[in-house]
Structure 1
């Protein structure tokens, strides 16, 4: 329905839609910057502090996304960030999920906190990527669902690119300019401007 209205109004509908969504988000207590552009309806599961969800200036959200926080979890989209449709952001405990200025998170990405996930400036997170600052405890004597989690921060330097279906495990730090090939699982830190592929990801070269 939203796309149909935008089609028949030449896109004018999205301006009104964005104003209304921004107003509603502010009513919830979410901090929203100037010139928010939204093409969907955010799904909110706020069990922490609403003001810990922060949307900067000139942020673009290209569809419905899922925002969840609990305890002291923070979700921050810095200025000029673009978020594609059907992405999920979950921040818990004292974790901070931050998407840096001019970065893009493409469709179906999942970013799970508990620890912090900090994405630098001008990064591209490809479709269906999974970034996890936590991991299930898996002991024989306790069912997985009851065993809890361990946490460690995930840091991406500026100008990183994750291709489609990349998984970043807890505790990983990606050096500035890292490129990770499609389907790779990154379990260790990367060198600046390195190119990594495979399961587990291994360095295959460097950007020129």
Structure 2
């Protein structure tokens, strides 16, 4: 016998009704009853984690949202898992006015400064006879590994992986994967330094 979730997914009319009950039409944020009575029992928050009061936590029950131990989401940030899960690791800081749209996985001990945008979502545009807002979306996970520093006003595009202990300079647009122990700057972002284990120094590329 099919589970309730399978029955909903396989019945377009029922799926539409359930979606309307969870999210108001033409909006991305969940209804208040979902925030108050569903999300606290579905999503995981680690010990000592903090979500400041002036945030938009637009998380829905049909995708995962996890906040690690002693992680913090600062004021004016938006977290959205509507099209993909969002995982935030232990002791990771999400600075003020960040926008994180899943699918996104952040490791441990990451510093994300102010006004950073990372979106695992892209809009299709190929059909010129249909408004872009009515076309399908595609997703590709963003991954940031442990110990990274993402400086202010950075944009990270869908599908990018940033390797461990890397630094993304302020204002950078990251469109390609970043190897571990790298410093990236510019638009589009390019590697300007890499750590040299033999000399224990950060060398220009």
TM-score of the pair, normalised by structure 1:
0.73
Structure of larger gyration radius: 2
Distance in 2 of aligned mates of 1:54 and 1:85: 20
Q: 2:130 aligns with which of 118, 135, 142?
A: 142
Tell me the C-alpha RMSD between the 2 structures: 1.8
For the pair 1:196 / 2:168, whether they are aligned, the reply is no
Which residue number corresponds to residue 112 of structure 1? 101
Which residue number corresponds to residue 120 of structure 2? 133
Distance in 1 of aligned mates of 2:188 and 2:176: 9
User: CA-to-partner distance for each residue in 1:54-95, whole Å, 9 max, x for gaps?
Assistant: 2110112344111112362121110010111111100024x2
Distance in 1 of aligned mates of 2:109 and 2:68: 11
TM-score of the pair, normalised by structure 2:
0.74
Point out where structure 2 has 5 or more consecutive residues left out of the alignment: 1-28, 196-201
Q: Answer 1 or 2: which has greater strand percent.
A: 1
Distance in 2 of aligned mates of 1:182 and 1:61: 24
Which residue number corresponds to residue 175 of structure 1? 163
Provide the secondary structure at the position in 2 that maps to 1:92. coil
Point out where structure 1 has 5 or more consecutive residues left out of the alignment: 1-43
